[in-house]
Structure 1
Amino acid sequence: MSETQDIKEIDKRELMAKYDKESNFRTNLGPWGWVTLIIGGALTIFQLYTAFYGAKVSLIQGAIHLGAGLSLVYLLYPLKTSMTKRRGVPWYDALLAIAALFVNFYILFNYERLVKDAIIFGFTAFDQIVATAGVILLLEATRRVVGLPIVIIAIVALLYGLFGQYIPVIGHAGYDWPSLATEMFYSSSSIFGTPIQISSTYIYLFLFFGVILVKTNIGQFFNDIALRLTGRYTGGTAKAAVAASGLQGMVSGSSVANTVGSGSFTIPMMKNSGFKPHFAAATEASASTGGQIMPPIMGAAAFIMASYTGIPYNEIIIIAIIPAILYFSGVFMGTHFEARKQGIMGLAKDQLPKLKNLVKRLDLFLPLVIIIGFLLAGKTPTYAALFAIVTAFVISFFRKDTRMSFKEIIKLLEEGARTALPVIAACATAGIIAGTVTTTGLGPKIAGGIIELAQGQFFLVMFFTMVACIILGMGLPTTANYVVTATMAAPALLAFDVPVIAVHMFVFYFGIVADITPPVCLAAYAGAGIAGANPMKAGVTAVKLAIAAFIIPYMFVTQPILLLQGDANVLNVSIAVITAMLGMASISASMIGYFVSSVNWLERIIMFGAGLLLVYPDLKFSLVGLVIFGAIFAIQFFGGKAGDKNKRQTA
């Protein structure tokens, strides 16, 4: 690697550490590097082994997964972020790493007694001490790798479980600490509930798959394909960024990580072609964030959604296609209108990746084809991910630029574990919250409170649920945010006889867009760091580009046809999609301030209103919106021609 590349890598790491809590790890482990290599490699091998031969009992699978994960967190993440550059691992963190392994492996070695005998004879005093230590170690590890907000929510949930009898309106009988601690740590409904069960099976494998794509440079092939397909058109560099980041974002599952990873390539490219720095940052952030709603992988939360809704994952990826198309179409339109507004054309043919070189590398798409094909064929996500991993690994040896050495393969196993640590910690801590909500009956009480606050008005219930999801999303990772909102806020919408999948997609979408919603728009901040732009300006622009994400959830709740629910025949779906696309075009033009030509403020307001009418689930309203949209187009088109004619005559 050249000196310039080294500098770029250092800049990326510093940027990630600044805006992404999970990237604030120790960079100089010294001899402890061998320990993290062994534990991380062993965890990845365990996950691959159980994927091939079958997972263990959920509590044992989860205990090994969580124990190794928390041990690595204490070895890699310091007590304070200012200590990341110190050499080695302090003695107290080494002890905490050992303790994390011990409390989780205690479940492994005492499984029969803890799940059977304890029901009759109760838990021993030592069982209670281990459970207490397990909860504390989990919360501290989560604070280090994910951040304080989710830990605060989990502590509040525990306090609610302990002192519920003193809380008015939403109170409950209350638990004593030994009962609560053992319920949290030894049952399969809290810490080792659905989130960590999914993390220890599907999610880990797909995250490891993403690591392989990056380490073997297969991810760069996605960038080249996107640039070749869109680069020669108006604003082609921005459109290429949207396509490439969407492809990589669905695998990475992290808006910030994908913004920095893809953005280091796409943002300078957009700036060089003429886009303003804040717009380049916003484009990358909105596309990277949207990657988590892009089938077939959809980050990580969609696997948990399949478990919560009872809808098979291979059906969810079909259901999610139309909303994802609408979202990325909206971002594409925004970049197109901005390019027209700024007069930014496409790249010259000689600046694009050569077609013959790309054709020679088309086999690099095979891992993604394997995943899509296996899922659509009804295979389990575990099976699909495992074969995609094997495929990507094998084809990486065919070329020098994708081939890995033995040392790099060993390091790859550790990197897979490192990448999963934030998800492991977030899923386990979210399990505390979800477990408390379930065992105390808090979910229905919160749902009732939302409905009462909205005075039974369906639109207000949706609005309050949206606000709750965005606020939680500003402090929680996507997976944890979905778990919390699915258990606490979703029941409010379910009371209105909305299809289950529509409700869960609603909270899923709004949890994701928190990453680009000011004031805490971390993905936009990360993009602004690369672009050298004003972070808040990048955040506001990202919202404009991704405005579809704030509208689409309302659309598929009120018009479930977009999720292929209800009377979803070809005609109805086609009409809904066409009017929605036209609505997105009208709204995007309004946001950017350019359509056929520049749009004044009055036209922007009218176009925004026309767009809302077009996406409203009523054909009469859509026709009115279409008439207004067509009128604005005609005025701009013919007015522009007249203006051009006058200019020529004057000249």
Structure 2
Amino acid sequence: MDQRREEPAVNVERAEKYDKELRYRRFDSLLATLAVYVIAVALSLYHLYAAAFPVFSAHQHRALHLAGILALAFLLYPATSGASRTRLPLYDLALAALGVAVNLYIVLGYAGIVARGTSNYNTTDLVFAAVTIVLVLEAARRLMGWGLPALCILFLLYGYLGRIIPSEIFRHRGYALDDMAAYMYMGLEGIYGTPLGVSANFIILFIIFGAIMMKTGLGAFFNDLALALAGRAKGGPAKVAVISSGFMGSINGSALANVVSTGAFTIPLMKRIGYRPNFAGAVEASASVGGQVLPPIMGAAAFIMAETLGISYATVVLAGVLPALLYYLAVITQVHLRADRMGLVGLPAAEVPRIKEIMKERGHLLFPLLFFIYMLFFAGVSLAYAAFWTIIVSLVVAQLRASTRLGVRELLDALESGARLTISVALACAAVGLIVGIAALTGFGLKLANAIVAVGGEVLFFSLIFTMLAAIMLGVGLPSIPAYIITVTVAAPALVELGVEPLTAHFFVFYFGIFANLTPPVALAAFAASGLSGGSPMRTGFIALKLAIAGFIVPYMFVYSDALLLSNAEGLEALPVAATAIVGVLMLAVAVEGYLFSTVAWPLRALLAAAAILMLNPNFLTDAAGITVAFAVLLWQWRKGRREQEESAPAKEPAR
């Protein structure tokens, strides 16, 4: 019997409300549908080929990548929310063709562009440059709203009007529009800079890998495995949500996609055993967002981090392991404490699959992930090459059983899905390249770093607070990738100047840019989860914020003790730091949830929170104080819980 189980169904209409990527056209015309399908599949095939056999220069390769992305963006996404989503207007067809043309100009005329450089441009160069900038901004607006394009325009104005800015700190000599346009188009510092390069070289490959693995039933495998591991435990479905969303998020790197896919499976289970709708949605949202910081693949920003810092992706992955595990430990601890408080039980044994049967049927799907880890840490090959062979291995492994085997049509569908899911990421990278380019041209990052240091009085903690607020504010209005890139560009230099290691500074920004997805008033991941749970969007957001509290504390921990980022640790240095960090996040979870064997009084909650914060800067005294407080509260709560149980137990009848 074919035991292939379909991926959890997604309520498309509800998901579209929060995720603009899903608002693409479904054409009435078979010809239009086929044309877009062929373009998407061709784009994926090109990138697979280029990963193994690179044939173009970096600039040409990025231009071909952007050509396909712009074509798909204008073909698939209408200009306005009220425009038809079944028919393609001629102006969008023209814009798609123009998006291809301006990039083919770079590919075909590359020798001339290199010879002229960004200073000896001609009129044709300027026309194509201006058109490219407009197309990138318009395509980004269609998928992400006005936030990112507006910020890009502000930076372009800053570059042009620099000499009339009142503040001496931020004033500069100003640049002509022609010079800025050429700089953004004809070199590798603007649109075609590092962010787009990462999208073209790595991100699309891992999105394709994720799309292929989802077609094999990996999502259902993760759900079943999590169900087998935690389904029967106290509050089991909520723990299943945390585990399965962590698994899924580490592969697809998209919080919203994770919410609407795994949430369709886990949220009804949580509600069924007694979790309230707001809490059920919050659990799914906080677990899904955390997937972007969980190795081995993490979110797209992690690839950009490695490329920007000039370090291997394996170093970034190793650094991300312990902070991510601390985050998930805090979430699952709060989930357990809530279940204990409410007296919730797990699922019946009959509804929980057996691990042996799951591994027998689909356990082989884990092999590509293990293969990727081997290629990443031990094979000594490039990340693109590792991604290429991981995709090949995943296709071969999927053929081992009928329940996971892919036919030609399913493989083509995965390639089409991979290209389509890359559109928003690539456009964000291209658009943010304008901001990075202006920052490099004007020295804005260094100017802002000096301003932050001046305002913070060279006190690291104040600079961390300013950087956190900047990342959260950008993350509320922008996708996590541009939020990370912009904050790193303009704020991370200040942290480095104050003695923070570059990798640590980048991780600090990385975390807050991602967890802004849970920060009201625009907590998109929580709002999407509330749509599935039937709860209040804002209330779900605030509960998700509480569940994710460790995501806002752990970054401070690894700044003050960067041994938590294992790639910065020497020998066994990370062990005592990890031990105290575990105690700290457990204390934090109890303080937030307010329950441990029994209700925790507010004074004790405040004491636990204060002790947890003291352990941010590890040293013997603060660690000893924190552990002492934790042990004392544990003992007090255990005795209090025992006493309450004895008082509530029915009195025994006296013996006759």
| Residue 125 of structure 1: aligned partner | 123
| Residue 144 of structure 1: aligned partner | 142
| Residue 606 of structure 2: aligned partner | 605
DSSP 3-state at the match of 1:497: coil
Give the direction of change, closer, same or farther, for the CA distance of 1:641–1:8 in structure 2 (3 Å limit).
Answer: closer
Deviation at 1:71, TM superposition (A): 0.8
Task: For 1:33 and 1:181, locate their aligned partners in 2 and report how far apart those are by CA, in whole Å.
Answer: 35
TM-score, normalization by structure 2? 0.95
| Residue 163 of structure 1: aligned partner | 161
Q: Once the two structures are superposed, what CA deviation does each residue of 1:305-332 show, in whole Å capped at 9, x if it has no partner?
A: 1111122111221111111111111111
Q: Once the two structures are superposed, what CA deviation does each residue of 1:50-69 show, in whole Å capped at 9, x if it has no partner?
A: 01112621110000000110
1:542 equivalent in alignment to 2:544: yes
| Residue 478 of structure 2: aligned partner | 476
How do 1:213-292 and structure 2 match up within 5 A?
213-292=213-292
1:369 equivalent in alignment to 2:367: no
Contact 1:47–1:200 (CA<8 Å) still a contact in 2? yes
Deviation at 1:379, TM superposition (A): 2.7
Larger CA deviation: 291-300 vs 352-361: 352-361
| Residue 424 of structure 2: aligned partner | 422
Deviation at 1:108, TM superposition (A): 0.8
Q: Once the two structures are superposed, what CA deviation does each residue of 1:348-373 show, in whole Å capped at 9, x if it has no partner?
A: 32211123321212111111111111
| Residue 316 of structure 1: aligned partner | 316
Larger CA deviation: 97-106 vs 400-409: 400-409
Aligned-residue sequence identity (percent) comes to 39
What is the identity, as a one-letter code, of the residue corresponding to 2:556?
Y
What is the identity, as a one-letter code, of the residue corresponding to 2:70?
L
Q: Once the two structures are superposed, what CA deviation does each residue of 1:425-480 show, in whole Å capped at 9, x if it has no partner?
A: 00001111111101110001111111222232211110010000011111222222
| Residue 91 of structure 2: aligned partner | 92
Task: For 1:88 and 1:8, locate their aligned partners in 2 and report how far apart those are by CA, in whole Å.
Answer: 29
Contact 2:26–2:33 (CA<8 Å) still a contact in 1? no
Larger CA deviation: 482-491 vs 376-385: 376-385
Which of 493, 496, 502 matches 1:494? 496
Contact 1:614–1:623 (CA<8 Å) still a contact in 2? no
Unaligned runs of 5+ in 2: none
Contact 2:117–2:186 (CA<8 Å) still a contact in 1? no
Give the direction of change, closer, same or farther, for the CA distance of 1:507–1:7 in structure 2 (3 Å limit).
Answer: closer
What is the identity, as a one-letter code, of the residue corresponding to 1:470?
I
What is the identity, as a one-letter code, of the residue corresponding to 1:503?
A
Larger CA deviation: 137-146 vs 211-220: 211-220
Deviation at 1:84, TM superposition (A): 5.0
DSSP 3-state at the match of 2:540: helix
TM-score, normalization by structure 1? 0.96
Contact 1:147–1:475 (CA<8 Å) still a contact in 2? no
Task: For 1:635 and 1:351, locate their aligned partners in 2 and report how far apart those are by CA, in whole Å.
Answer: 37
Task: For 2:621 and 2:243, locate their aligned partners in 1 and report how far apart those are by CA, in whole Å.
Answer: 34
Give the direction of change, closer, same or farther, for the CA distance of 1:567–1:302 in structure 2 (3 Å limit).
Answer: closer
Larger CA deviation: 467-476 vs 47-56: 47-56
| Residue 101 of structure 2: aligned partner | 102
DSSP 3-state at the match of 1:474: helix
Deviation at 1:567, TM superposition (A): 6.1
Larger CA deviation: 448-457 vs 100-109: 448-457
Larger CA deviation: 202-211 vs 217-226: 217-226
| Residue 637 of structure 2: aligned partner | 636
Task: For 1:29 and 1:405, locate their aligned partners in 2 and report how far apart those are by CA, in whole Å.
Answer: 26
What is the identity, as a one-letter code, of the residue corresponding to 1:130?
F
What is the identity, as a one-letter code, of the residue corresponding to 2:215?
K
Give the direction of change, closer, same or farther, for the CA distance of 1:24–1:574 in structure 2 (3 Å limit).
Answer: same
Contact 1:524–1:539 (CA<8 Å) still a contact in 2? yes
Q: Once the two structures are superposed, what CA deviation does each residue of 1:85-136 show, in whole Å capped at 9, x if it has no partner?
A: 3x2201110100001110111111111001113568x222121111100100
DSSP 3-state at the match of 2:298: coil
What is the identity, as a one-letter code, of the residue corresponding to 2:103?
N
Give the direction of change, closer, same or farther, for the CA distance of 1:506–1:6 in structure 2 (3 Å limit).
Answer: closer
Larger CA deviation: 561-570 vs 379-388: 561-570
Contact 2:278–2:543 (CA<8 Å) still a contact in 1? yes
| Residue 212 of structure 1: aligned partner | 212
Moved over 4 A (4+): 5-9
1:396 equivalent in alignment to 2:394: no
Contact 2:185–2:192 (CA<8 Å) still a contact in 1? yes
Unaligned runs of 5+ in 1: none
| Residue 525 of structure 1: aligned partner | 527
What is the identity, as a one-letter code, of the residue corresponding to 1:113?
G
1:186 equivalent in alignment to 2:182: no
What is the identity, as a one-letter code, of the residue corresponding to 1:44?
S
Contact 1:154–1:429 (CA<8 Å) still a contact in 2? yes
What is the identity, as a one-letter code, of the residue corresponding to 2:274?
G
Contact 2:319–2:566 (CA<8 Å) still a contact in 1? yes
Deviation at 1:649, TM superposition (A): 6.6
Deviation at 1:602, TM superposition (A): 2.2
Q: Once the two structures are superposed, what CA deviation does each residue of 1:276-295 show, in whole Å capped at 9, x if it has no partner?
A: 11111111111110101011
| Residue 557 of structure 1: aligned partner | 559
Give the direction of change, closer, same or farther, for the CA distance of 1:390–1:29 in structure 2 (3 Å limit).
Answer: farther
How do 1:1-12 and structure 2 match up within 5 A?
9=9, 12=11
| Residue 201 of structure 1: aligned partner | 201
Task: For 2:246 and 2:510, locate their aligned partners in 1 and report how far apart those are by CA, in whole Å.
Answer: 17
| Residue 460 of structure 2: aligned partner | 458
Task: For 2:145 and 2:55, locate their aligned partners in 1 and report how far apart those are by CA, in whole Å.
Answer: 30
| Residue 595 of structure 1: aligned partner | 596
| Residue 64 of structure 1: aligned partner | 64
Coordinate RMSD, CA, aligned: 1.8
| Residue 16 of structure 1: aligned partner | 15
Which of 505, 508, 512 matches 1:503? 505
Residue correspondences, number? 643
Deviation at 1:623, TM superposition (A): 1.1
Which of 123, 131, 134 matches 2:132? 134
1:349 equivalent in alignment to 2:349: yes
How do 1:404-419 and structure 2 match up within 5 A?
404-419=406-421
Contact 2:212–2:415 (CA<8 Å) still a contact in 1? no
Q: Once the two structures are superposed, what CA deviation does each residue of 1:68-92 show, in whole Å capped at 9, x if it has no partner?
A: 101100000001122253x220111
What is the identity, as a one-letter code, of the residue corresponding to 2:101?
F
DSSP 3-state at the match of 2:477: coil
Q: Once the two structures are superposed, what CA deviation does each residue of 1:373-410 show, in whole Å capped at 9, x if it has no partner?
A: 11111332212211221122223333333333323322
Contact 1:236–1:345 (CA<8 Å) still a contact in 2? yes
Task: For 2:28 and 2:372, locate their aligned partners in 1 and report how far apart those are by CA, in whole Å.
Answer: 36
What is the identity, as a one-letter code, of the residue corresponding to 1:312?
S
Q: Once the two structures are superposed, what CA deviation does each residue of 1:461-511 show, in whole Å capped at 9, x if it has no partner?
A: 100100000111112222222211111110111111111111000000000
DSSP 3-state at the match of 1:320: helix
Contact 1:146–1:425 (CA<8 Å) still a contact in 2? no
